Structure 1
Amino acid sequence: MPIRQFQAQRMHAPRDFQPIENKPVCVEIGAGKGKHALLFSGQNPQFNLIAVERTREKFLAMQKQHQIEGQQNLTTLHVDALPWVVHALYPHQVQQFFILYPNPEPHNSAQRWLNMPFFEFLVSRLQVNGSITLASNIPEYITEAEQQLKEVWNLPFEKQVIEQDSARTHFEIKYLERGELCQQLIITKPEYYKTRFDEFQPLQGQNLSVEKMVENVNAE
């Protein structure tokens, strides 16, 4: 399906937005109660992970567990991912994105990650050879994402079946216990890959007029 261009300059900053440094990070979108974020940061002290969750109840559960475990390389944020990414992240900054068991949007396929214009912006934040891990227990979701990667985004990927003993998220544990097929796509960004947002700097919380922001983008 055709994808229109994402209008990054129209994104308003999240409430209480705080800028971040332009240094390599990993980002988990829709981190839920933080099971994967806590595991990953504990097992990979060489990476700094930012775990983003929009739902307050889930975020508070993640925050509480993080306070108990105390990983210094994990930052948890209660925020909507799209405006935060636009305002916070720099081009080519992210080493890995994790999108594990996102809402399949059964009644609005345009809101699935690889069907959204925003996906191009997300890729622009990724380092060369960086990766996006997209996991789902819905075969049709994975099949559609594969098709979009081939026909729209032209990005290389590896499709993997998730092992039965994997336990990265509460959803993953539940689905595997039910005997459901869980799969993931490991999407990588090759050196040659270009997006229309490769020079787009983070808005850093500025809520300028649309006209002024368009001027700024065109001037870059």
Structure 2
Amino acid sequence: MPIRQFQAQRMHAPREFKTISQSPICVEIGAGKGKHALLFSGQHPQYHLIAIERTREKFLAMQKQHAIEGQPNLTPVHADALPWVVHALYPQQVQHFFILYPNPEPHNPAQRWLNMPFFEFLISRLQTGGTITLASNIPSYIDEAEEQLKTVWKLPFERQVIAQDSARTHFEVKYLERGELCQQLVMTKPEGYTTRFDAFQPLQGQNATQAASADQTEA
């Protein structure tokens, strides 16, 4: 399906937004209660992971567990991922993105990750050689995403079956215990890959008002 261009400059900063440094990071989108975030940061001290969760109850659960475990290389963030990414991340800053068991949006296919114009912006934040991991228990979701990778985004990828003993998220544990097939697409950004947002710098909150004013003037 055709993808229109994402209007990054129209994104308002999340409430209580805080800027981040330009150093390399990993980002998990929709981190839930933080099971994967806590595991990953504990197992990979060489990476700094920012785990974003929009739902307040889930975010507080992740924050509470992080306070107990105390991984210094994990930063939980309570925000909607799209405006946070636009305001916070620099071009080619992210080493790995994780999108594990997102809402399949059964009634709104345009909101699935690889169908959204925002996905081009997400790729622009990824380092050359960096990866995006998208996991789902719904075969048709993975099938559609694979088709989009081939025809629209043209990213190299591997389609993998997730091991029965994997336990990265609460959803993953539940689905595998029920005997469902869980799969993931691991996409890699190749050398020379370009997007229309490669020069787009993060809005960083303080520019949100200016961007909104500019949109109104243009309108």
Q: Distance in 2 between matches of 1:12 and 1:34?
A: 25
Deviation at 1:141, TM superposition (A): 0.2
Match of 1:149 in 2: 149
- Map Cα deviations across residues 35-92 of structure 1 (whole Å, 9 max, x no partner): 0000000000000000000000000000000000000000001100000000000000
**What residue number does 1:163 align with?**
163
1:218 corresponds to which residue? none
Structure 1 residue 211: Cα displacement: 5.7
Give the share of equivalent positions with the same residue, in percent: 79
Q: Tell me the TM-score normalised to structure 2 length.
A: 0.96
Q: Residue in 2 aligned with 1:138? A: 138
Instruction: Choose the corresponding residue for 1:212, options 205, 210, 214.
Output: 214
Match of 1:3 in 2: 3
| Residue pair 2:52, 2:76 contacting (<8 A) in 1 also | yes
Task: Please tell me whether the aligned partners of residues 9 and 211 of structure 2 are also in contact (alpha carbons under 8 angstroms).
Answer: no
Aligned residues of 1:9 and 1:214 also touching (Cα < 8 A): no
Contact kept, 8 Å, 2:135 with 2:183, in 1: the verdict is yes
Root-mean-square deviation (Å): 1.3
Residue ranges of structure 2 left out of the alignment (5+ in a row)? none
Structure 1 SS opposite 2:106 = coil
Separation in 1 of the partners of 2:75 and 2:51? 6
**What does residue 175 of structure 2 align with?**
175
Residue 49 of structure 1 is matched in structure 2 by 49
CA distance in 2, matches of 1:214, 1:2: 27
Find the aligned partners of 2:66 and 2:212 in 1 and give their Cα distance: 38
In the alignment, what sits opposite 2:189? 189
Name the amino acid aligned to 2:24: P
Q: Does 1:91 align with 2:101?
A: no
SS of corresponding position for 2:150: helix
1:93 positional shift:
0.0
TM-score, normalization: structure 1? 0.96
Q: How does 1:8-87 map to 2 (within 5 A)?
A: 8-87=8-87
Structure 1 gaps of 5+ residues are 216-220
